[in-house]
Amino acid sequence: MAPRRNLVGFTDLMAAAAGDDVFQNQTLVLPGHRGHRLGLAMKAANLRAMRADEPHRRLVHTWVAPGNQHMRAVNAVFGFQAVELLDEWQRDPTC
């Protein structure tokens, strides 16, 4: 019997058919598996595959919550730099 394998992380890249920009949408690692650099490994694999498959795409956009220091550190490893701040508001549903 094959060993049981569970999905513990996810990341994705999205690119339009035209243009050179790529969007790194989300990177998720289940809480019990954080701290082992899985987010870093997944992002690295995606970026390597993108460069191999579509080398003309040179600009990658990503975003992360200001309080998510772990993913901010991962993004810094790849040289991502903050260029804008998006402020989102949510109404309290009890009001």
What's phi and psi for 54, nearest 5 deg? -140, 70
Give percent of the chain with pLDDT exceeding 70.
100
pTM (two decimals)? 0.78
Q: Which domain holds residue 36?
A: 9-77
Q: What is the CATH number of the domain that holds 20?
A: 3.40.630.30
CA distance 12 to 24: 6
Higher confidence at residue 66 or residue 38? 38
Q: Are 8 and 33 in contact (CB under 8 A)?
A: yes
Q: How confident is the model at residue 19 (pLDDT cuts 50, 70, 90)?
A: confident
Higher confidence at residue 1 or residue 35? 35
Per the domain annotation, does 56 fall within a domain? yes
CA distance 23 to 78: 14
- Name the nearest CA neighbour of 40 among 1, 83, 15, 72: 72
Given strand 59-62, what is the order of strands in its sheet? 9-15, 21-29, 59-62
Per the domain annotation, does 85 fall within a domain? no
- What is the tally of structural domains in the chain? 1
